[in-house]
Amino acid sequence: MNRIRTASEFSRTVRSGARSGRRNVVLYGSITSGMDPSRFGFIVGKNVGNAVVRNLVKRRLREAAAIALTDNPQGLDIVVRALPASAAAGWPELSVDLDKGLNSVLRRLTARNNAAMEGEDS
């Protein structure tokens, strides 16, 4: 899978992107050039649980992201931060939260991009 790996890439996406919070996750997204493949990064801190729980949450989120990647194969960087509630969430709940969060981020990025385009036209 296309992954965000470096701290600078995580920082750029979190600071300059659109944000959407859900019960189990917070998503940050930014638009890259249209030809770059979409990439996902995951932040699962110790507040989520012990190593076993964190890895389970991470695996579930990676699978949900892989499914979402088929709909958005190019032009996005997405950072997913797992919240402590994600430790008790099952696969369906995490998957739905990631999908809804991603849709919200995409709407915000599209609105921001359209507003920037209108500003250039003036």
Distance CA 48, CA 94 (A): 13
Which residue type, as a one-letter code, is found at position 76? L
pLDDT tens digits, one per residue of 25-67:
999 999 887 788 999 999 999 999 999 999 999 999 999 999 9
Q: List domains and CATH numbers for the chain.
A: 7-109 (3.30.230.10)
pLDDT value at residue 70: 87
Burial of 43 by CB count in 10 Å (0-12 exposed, 13-18 middle, 19+ buried)?
A: middle
Predicted confidence band of residue 115 (pLDDT cuts 50, 70, 90)? confident
Query: At which residue do the structure tokens 């991009």 appear?
Result: 113
Query: What is the number of alpha carbons within 13 Å of residue 89 lying toward its C-beta?
Result: 24
pLDDT value at residue 11: 94
Evaluate whether 94 touches 57 at the Cβ level (below 8 Å).
Answer: yes
